[in-house]
Amino acid sequence: MADKSPKNRWLPKRIVLLRHGETSDDSGGGDGISPSHSTPLSRRGAEQAKRAGALIRDLLDQSCPSWKIYVYVSPFECTRSTLREMGCAFPASRLIGVREECRVREQDFGNFQDPQKIRHLKEVRDKFGRFFFRFPEGESGADVYDRVSSFLESMWRDIDMQRFPHGGDDSELNLIIVSHGLAIRIFLMRWFRWTVEQFERLKSPKDCEFRVMQLGEGGEYSLAVHHDEGRLRAWGLSADMVAEQKLRAGSRSHQEAAAGEEEEVLWYRTFFGAADGDEDTSATRGGAGEG
């Protein structure tokens, strides 16, 4: 059974990360001159947003008859428009509130962008590495990581201060974050403490595709509660990353999860010597002792 402790009673049941719909630039209708933050959705993007809203609504209806949502949205026109279109699926009585959140905005690529130059820079980024490559006059993935980390701290304060009144035990709170492809991957990286190498594996969500982080039986959030292994692997998660998500989805407690992470994170193990008693450490430390 799910953890019903007083602390978990106030935790969101789900955190849904939704990428915006197709923009006019994506569809070939942009002029390449307008600032990226003001680029609108294409007609197809608006339809994608409506379908995404209906899919999320169905997910919530199937889980609990009494649910509430609170929304964080990037200030870009494409994300605000996505929220407007998807919002048609949600009765106003189910909405706790909406907050425009600048820290989940798109990665800054610079000011007025030349499409050909941006395409070239993205090719260079793919060779250099998405996390550390910095666009001229813009941001690197590492910069986005810093502001998403700041947002996460604020979001947890909102939860701890119980700023999302949702009816208590008989109602489910769901947070929806309408954001962008890189910001969503960085959010997951930060939440699950994935390495840069693991981040580089991840594929960006498609237009209006969403990732559902849901509370498992032990009170840990996991992608494996709502999504199956095939979907997680298609998104770029390695076998080890999928296994860790399955553990989070299970019945272990917060304390067991913290202890388990020591066993799951293996990438650094070869940096250190053997455990005490496993071998004659005196020989590995330059022959101190017997001559």
Written as one letter, the residue type at 94 is R
**Lowest mean pLDDT across 21-35, 110-124, 245-259:** 21-35
pLDDT, position 276 = 65
- Please tell me the pTM assigned to this model: 0.81
Active site (catalytic) residues = 20, 106
Per-residue pLDDT, averaged over 226-238, amounts to: 97
Report pLDDT for 289: 47
Secondary structure of 49-99 as H, E, C letters: HHHHHHHHHHHHHHHCCCEEEEEEECCCHHHHHHHHHHHHHCCHHHEEEEE
Query: Which amino acid, 90?
Result: F
pLDDT band (50, 70, 90) for residue 134: confident
Residue 232 has pLDDT above 70, yes or no: yes
Q: Which residue has the higher pLDDT, 245 or 2?
A: 245
How many percent of the chain have pLDDT more than 90?
Answer: 59
Q: What is the mean pLDDT of the chain?
A: 84
In this prediction, residue 153 carries a pLDDT of 97
Q: What is the pLDDT of residue 268?
A: 76
Instruction: Give the tens place of pLDDT for each residue, 170-220.
Output: 789 999 999 999 999 999 999 999 999 999 999 999 999 999 999 999 999
Q: Are the C-beta atoms of residues 50 and 82 closer than 8 Å to each other?
A: no
Percent of the chain with pLDDT over 70: 78
Residues 131-152 have a mean pLDDT of 86
**What is the DSSP secondary structure assignment for residue 228, as one 8-state letter?**
-
Q: What is the DSSP string of 101-169?
A: -GGGSPPP--SSPPHHHHHHHHHHHHHH-TTT---TTS--HHHHHHHHHHHHHHHHHHHHTT-----GG
What is the reported pLDDT for 10?
A: 77
* Mean pLDDT on 142-166: 91
The pLDDT of residue 230: 98
- Residue 280 is predicted with a pLDDT of 53
The reported pLDDT for the residue numbered 24 is: 83
**pLDDT tens-digit readout, 90-103:** 999 999 999 999 99
